[in-house]
Structure 1
Amino acid sequence: MKREWELIRLILTRIEAEGDLSSRWFADRFPEWPADAVSYHMWLLIQAGLLTGQCNADAPSAGFVCHGVALTWAGHEFLAAVRSDTAWGRIKARLAERSVDLSLDAIIAAARFALGG
């Protein structure tokens, strides 16, 4: 499955906005995306240390389900860099003009540059 950065931003944004640490964010809370894609991206976010949550298996497979609970410190920092559509557009443009694939490290580096840091 391909990593979808728009879905990653959406998951982080919605979970941060909830503010309720007793909530569990399953795929059905993102009906505009296929459930398997949401679970996969939550798994990626948990693996990257941006989101706390759990999955019913260590790796994606048939019947794989994950849920998110809260952003980590790194998740809040990452979201702060990509939250605004304007900043996100600048980041993607900067990486595209340099023919750099979107990766977590590349996005963070481009965000620092785009935000003057």
Structure 2
Amino acid sequence: MKRDWDLIRQQLTDIEEEHDVLADLPEEPKWTDQPWEDYEQQLKEFRAAEGRIAGHLEMLVDNGYIEGLQIMRSADGQFFFGVSGPRLTMAGHDLLDTMRSSPIWETIKTTAKTKGIELTFDGIKALGSVALKQLLG
């Protein structure tokens, strides 16, 4: 899975606004009377979407930006969730504050791309202060 910073930004915002952070997970397909190959394709698409959403939440939890959410993976790649009032940590609020403003966020992404810098959690924080100075200067 490739990291999607816009998805991370949205997930942080959803948690801050107390939206259901798992609401965007698609519904797992059920096998009915369709051909098995169709069901397998639907399941593959479901697993990809679930993995993208859950994987990004997992990164946020693992790096201390979110509390109140547990994400577990089974051996076959299924995800299981423990939810007890997801909330941002102080570090999560700081990261979201850096990413919140659309002009600053776009400047961060553009600067990183122009300079050939890969976006990381620390890079976003550093580029956020540069972007703010550019917009205010």
State the TM-score bracket (shorter-chain normalisation): 0.7 to 0.9
Give the number of the structure whose alpha-carbon radius of gyration is greater.
2
Question: Any gaps of 5 or more consecutive residues in structure 2?
Answer: 27-47
CA RMSD of aligned residues (A): 2.4
Distance in 1, matches of 2:95 and 2:75, equals: 24
Residue pair 1:25, 1:67 contacting (<8 A) in 2 also: no
Specify whether residues 61 and 70 from structure 1 end up closer, same or farther in structure 2 by C-alpha distance, changes over 3 A only. farther
Cross-structure match for 1:96 = 113
TM-score (norm 2): 0.70
Residue pair 2:25, 2:53 contacting (<8 A) in 1 also: no
What's the CA shift string for 1:45-80, capped at 9, x where partnerless? 0111111121124x8861123466111100000000
1:36 paired residue among 33, 38, 51:
51
**What is the percent sequence identity of the aligned residues?**
31
* 2:91 counterpart of 1:74: yes
TM-score (norm 1): 0.81
Q: Which is worse superposed, 31-40 or 48-57?
A: 31-40
| Displacement over 6 Å in runs of 4+ | none
Specify whether residues 61 and 100 from structure 1 end up closer, same or farther in structure 2 by C-alpha distance, changes over 3 A only. farther
What's the CA shift string for 1:14-66, capped at 9, x where partnerless? 11011xxxx8632xx12589222111111000111111121124x88611234
